[in-house]
């Protein structure tokens, strides 16, 4: 099976770190925060592994750019031949 990998751009990795920092500041446990962030990655691997083109096209960001939502976060991504690249992450209720 030719498995495609999911990679996080530097911007998306920074956003994941910011989300984790925000949760830590809310006095949530390290285990909770790790599990919460890991749930993003597990979900992305499942959905984008099986249905890479399931996200809505976001032509205003460029050709082939898509958005998919999980919990209250949107993931902007691009599908390449060998990988799915998460470009950024944002919270739905923030500008």
Show the domains of the chain with their CATH numbers.
5-91 (3.30.2310.20)
Distances (CA, A) of 55 to 2, 22, 44: 21, 26, 11
pLDDT category, 49, cuts 50, 70, 90?
confident
3-state DSSP assignment of residue 50: helix
Residue 1 pLDDT level (bands cut at 50, 70, 90): very low
Distances (CA, A) of 26 to 16, 22, 29: 16, 7, 9
pTM for the full predicted model: 0.85
Give the per-residue pLDDT at 4: 73
- For residue 55, the 8-state DSSP code is S
Alpha-carbon gap, residue 57 to 52, rounded angstroms: 12
Instruction: For 50, list phi and psi in degrees, rounded to 5.
Output: -95, -35
């Amino acid at each position: 099976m030719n498995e495609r990998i999911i990679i996080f751009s530097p911007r998306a990795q920074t956003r994941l770190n910011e989300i984790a920092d925000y949760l830590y500041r809310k006095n949530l446990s390290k285990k909770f925060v790790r599990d919460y962030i890991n749930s993003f990655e597990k979900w992305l691997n499942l959905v984008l592994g099986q249905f890479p083109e399931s996200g809505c096209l976001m032509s205003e960001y460029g050709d082939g750019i898509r958005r998919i939502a999980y919990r209250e976060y949107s993931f902007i991504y691009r599908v390449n031949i060998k990988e799915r690249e998460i470009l950024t992450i944002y919270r739905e209720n923030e500008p």
